[in-house]
Each structure stands twice: as structure tokens, then as C-alpha cells.
Chains A and B, each alone.
Chain A
Amino acid sequence: MSLEKARNRYIPMSETMFYILLSLREARHGYAIMQHVKDLTDGRVVLGAGTVYSSLGKLEGDGLIETVSEEDRRKIYMITSVGSAILREEAARIAELYKNSGGLL
């Protein structure tokens, strides 16, 4: 998928998608993604099996992540260059939100 199309589909993105992409800057399988996100958010975001599986399917289908290896039926995924570009753009958008909501808290 081209960057332009990916942008239209993924920005703004759900918290689930954001954290999955963020986790896949290192090669991980589904369960490891869940554990990583759980650690990052102090247990607030606990992704379920169905959500992880279907999100990975979407992201791989759209070329934001790719399978890098397989070990006993478990696929190991990693972010692609398109995925990285989208993740950075989303991070910039969130940084702007953070900046503009500073006075509220």
C-alpha cells in the first residue's frame, strides 16, 4: 500500500494499532506484543488474542508490517518502512494533541 493510502486509512489510528506498531520496531510475535504493551502502559492496555490477530492481519495486508520468521506456527512480525513513516506521523499528531491540551490538566 502506498504511503498516501496508508495515511488515509491509519491516521488518526486507534490506541491498539498505535501500540502494536510501536511494539514492532522490534521483531515480536502476537503474545509478546501483548506483554510489551501491558508493560508499557502499566497494565492499562491488555490486548486480547482476537484483537491482536485481526490487527496483525490488517497491518500485514496493508504493508505496514511484515512476517520476518516463523517458529512452530507462530509468526514473528516487524514494522516496514511504510509502517515506520505512518507511526512517526501519528506520533507527531499525538505530540501536537499533548501540547494543545496542556492547559486542561
Chain B
Amino acid sequence: MKDKRIVLFPAFRKVVPADLENWLEHMAVEGWHIDRVRQWNSLWMTFKKGEPRKYRFVCDMQFAARKDYRATYEQFGWQYLGRMASMYVWRMEYQGQRPEAFTDRDSVVDRNRRTILAVSVSFTLFLMMIIFYAVQIICFPDSLSAGDRTQVIAVEALFSVFVILLGIVMLYIWKNRRR
């Protein structure tokens, strides 16, 4: 029997934090566990087979966590698993009532807004590159050979796809900002 399972692009498949949390919880109920979260885990996650457990996961985007961030969560009984980029991942084992880290509407919406902000950084970066190359093609067409131009246009097309996808992701999180 397999005792390891690798899932590709988990953070890109589940872009709404609540969905990512529920999915991790579902995996744990089936006995698939991730005990450490690291930078590259947004690209792939390795789960190990173990006993089924009931964990509540929390994914919290924090760009500049204050000194007391971890201590506050830990005091409330959350276990720190690590972070991928600025997304901190916590879990707590439970029976009965499911624990929550965000207990009012404002802080749930804020959490999702921070997630959108993180996506918007990549969105802006790609958009700026598109504009930069577009200016080069339009204003200085002679500076590029025909071959170069084809390459630049291909890159433009690829980045445009990224920008559209990231835009859709941001809209989708915004629509789901209340959960």
C-alpha cells in the first residue's frame, strides 16, 4: 500500500483559503497528513499515511506578522505548521465543535482581502511586464529583429494568460470573501 501521496499545485487549485482549509481537513480525516508546511508547498504537497484525525486547519495570509503573532495563536491552542510565502498554516485537533480562528464577519473578510492582495502582487508584476514589452514593440519596432519580435509576442501572450487567470482568481476570492 502506498504511504505517500503527492498533490500538485494545492494552493492554486484551492484559491479561497476556506476551501484550502477544508481540503486539508478532509485529507486528514482520510489519514493523509502534512506535518510541516514550507515555502514550496504551494506548488506541491507530500502527505504521509497515518491514523485518521480530525484537524481544523487555518490558512492566514500575513505580510508583516507582529512579534506576538505566533504566541497568540499558540496560546489559543493552534499548532504552527509553517508558511508558504506569506501564508501561515495552523491546525488544531478537535472533537465536537469545530474551532475557528476568525470569529466575526469583519475578520473573515479581512483575511480574504489579504489573500487577494497577495495575488494582486503577481498580477501587477505580470501586467507591468506586458506593458513594458508592448511599449518596446510599439515605440521601438526597429530595435528588434523579426525573430526577437516573435519571441516577445509569444511572451506577451503567455503573460496575458497569467494576468487573466490571476484576475479571475482575485474575483473568485472576492465573491467568496464572507467565508
A binds B: yes
> A residues within 8 Å of B by Cβ?
14-16, 29-31, 34, 46-55, 57, 70, 72-75
Q: Is the CB of B69 within 8 A of A53?
A: yes
CA distance in complex: A85, B71 (Å): 30
Report if B2 contacts A (CB, 8 A): no
Q: Is the CB of B102 within 8 A of A31?
A: no
> B residues within 8 Å of A by Cβ?
58, 60, 66-73, 75-76, 78, 90, 99-104, 106-107, 110-111
30 chain-A/chain-B pairs, Cβ below 8 angstroms? A14-B106, A16-B104, A16-B106, A16-B107, A29-B72, A30-B68, A30-B72, A30-B76, A31-B76, A46-B103, A48-B100, A48-B101, A48-B102, A48-B103, A49-B73, A49-B75, A49-B78, A50-B60, A50-B101, A50-B102, A51-B101, A51-B104, A53-B66, A53-B68, A53-B69, A70-B67, A73-B67, A73-B68, A73-B71, A74-B68
Which secondary structure characterizes the binding site on chain A? helix
Further contacts, 20 of them, CB under 8 A, given A31-B76, A49-B90, A73-B70: A29-B72, A30-B72, A30-B75, A48-B76, A48-B99, A48-B100, A48-B102, A49-B72, A49-B73, A50-B102, A51-B102, A52-B72, A53-B68, A53-B72, A70-B67, A73-B67, A74-B72, A75-B66, A75-B67, A75-B68
CA distance in complex: A14, B106 (Å): 8
What is the CB-to-nearest-CB distance from B116 to chain A, in angstroms, rounded to a whole number?
16
Chain A residues near B106 (CB, 8 Å)? 14, 16
Q: Is the CB of A15 within 8 A of B71?
A: no
Residue of A nearest to B101 (CB): A50
Residue of A nearest to B64 (CB): A57
Closest 6 CB pairs of A and B: A50-B101, A49-B76, A48-B103, A73-B71, A51-B107, A31-B75
CA distance in complex: A12, B132 (Å): 46
Q: Is the CB of B73 within 8 A of A53?
A: yes
Chain B residues near A70 (CB, 8 Å)? 67-68
CA distance in complex: A29, B104 (Å): 19
CA distance in complex: A14, B102 (Å): 14
Query: Do A15 and B104 form a contact, CB below 8 Å, given A48-B99, A72-B71, A73-B70?
Result: yes
Residue of B nearest to A72 (CB): B71
Residue of B nearest to A73 (CB): B71
What is the CB-to-nearest-CB distance from B110 to chain A, in angstroms, rounded to a whole number?
6
Chain B residues near A57 (CB, 8 Å)? 66
What is the CB-to-nearest-CB distance from A7 to chain B, in angstroms, rounded to a whole number?
18
CA distance in complex: A91, B172 (Å): 38
What is the CB-to-nearest-CB distance from B73 to chain A, in angstroms, rounded to a whole number?
5
Chain B residues near A51 (CB, 8 Å)? 101-104, 107
